[in-house]
Copies of this chain bind each other. A is one copy, B any other.
Amino acid sequence: MTTYLQMLSTVTTDGLEMKLVKQKMPEPKPHEIVVKVEATPINPSDHGVMFGWADISKATSSGEGADRVLKAPLAPGGLSRMKARLDQDLPVGNEGAGTVVAAGSDEYAQSLMGKRVAVMGGGMYAGYRAVPAMSALPLPEDATARDGASCFVNPLTALCFIETMRGEDHSAIVHTAAASNLGQMLNRICQADGVDIVNIVRRQEQVDILKELGAKYIVNSSDDDFHMQLTDAIHATGATLGFDAIGGGDTASNILLAMEAAAARTPGAYSIYGSIKHKQVYSYGSLDFGPTILNRAYGMAWGVGGWLLPNFLAKAGMETAVRLRKRVADELHTTFKSHYTDEISLSDALDADIVKRYNAKKTGEKFLINPQL
């Protein structure tokens, strides 16, 4: 093999275009390894780089196999939001796993030859990928590439929610879109670590998924008494930190309202300016692209903000990252097990009909790309 295919995403004033381009097989530098990518998941966090603010409901594709091209118009306001990436060919795919097929001269790089590793290197929607050997996570002997494909984004995000909770002096958390792959991992972590979690979902089917997992606090936002249920659960757990995957609308505001109402049930914790304890909701996703609406009826000790795994890890430092990665490897078959409903090729991933399916982010559906197909 002297070439491989790589997926690129480009936004121009005309809209979004995604295609596969032929790249020359990389030569590893002394500290690098070349990984033959065998499994790479499509995470919600990949959609941001893949599609940006394009209107995927209007996406079309043309061509077959390596020549397939996906096009989509930009959503209203999309262009001004994507100025920073205009006309750049961006490689996509945050993480994946595969086999080390070439290694640089450094001893550690050489020691990984032939091993199966997981990588969070960006540009993983590609047949091959050269990365620093130090950045790869060697997988247990019995793990397939499929087993190790999602070692980083969801596991580290879930673990770092708990790190954030401890670092910012909270003792329990609220999570929205709680039946997701990430949400299920988070529940397993919370159960293992004795942390209370309030799960917010939108449908009974999602309540059932979490019940089966043994989740204690599950609140369905479609119920009429949602706000009271949420306040009760927050009062019972003492949660003052929320992680919100939805982003737009009044979800964050409603969580803060319930936290404030829960605080008001405890005499003494209240001043005329509202409860004293800081209440925080982090938005880590944008299932709803609309504006976030905050009615501010929760005193003065509140915050809302963006949360991004790489930014958190950069602040947390190397020691934390090493500790968390070790836990992921140790619990790969239990806590951090991912389920995939579809395994597709790079070309399939640019088929407009398939794109619309995985872009729907349906609970229980998760797509894996195998670039070797």
Contacts and interface: CB of A to CB of B under 8 A. Distances in A.
A276 interface: yes
A22 interface: no
Nearest to A314: B276
Copies of this chain per assembly: 2
A293 B293 contact: yes
B270 A84 contact: yes
A284 B273 CA distance: 11
Given A84-B270, A264-B84, A276-B311, A295 B300 contact: no
Given A306-B303, A310-B271, A294 B297 contact: no
Given A302-B305, A306-B303, A296 B84 contact: no
Nearest to A247: B296
Contact of A304 (B80, B84, B284, B303): B303
A108 interface: no
A194 interface: no
A366 B293 CA distance: 33
A90 B272 contact: yes
Interface string A301-317: 11111111011001000
Interface of A: 48-49, 77, 80-81, 83-85, 90, 247-248, 253, 264, 270-274, 276, 278, 280, 283-284, 286, 291-297, 299-308, 310-311, 314
Given A273-B308, A301-B311, 7 more contacts: A81-B297, A247-B296, A248-B296, A276-B311, A292-B296, A299-B306, A302-B305
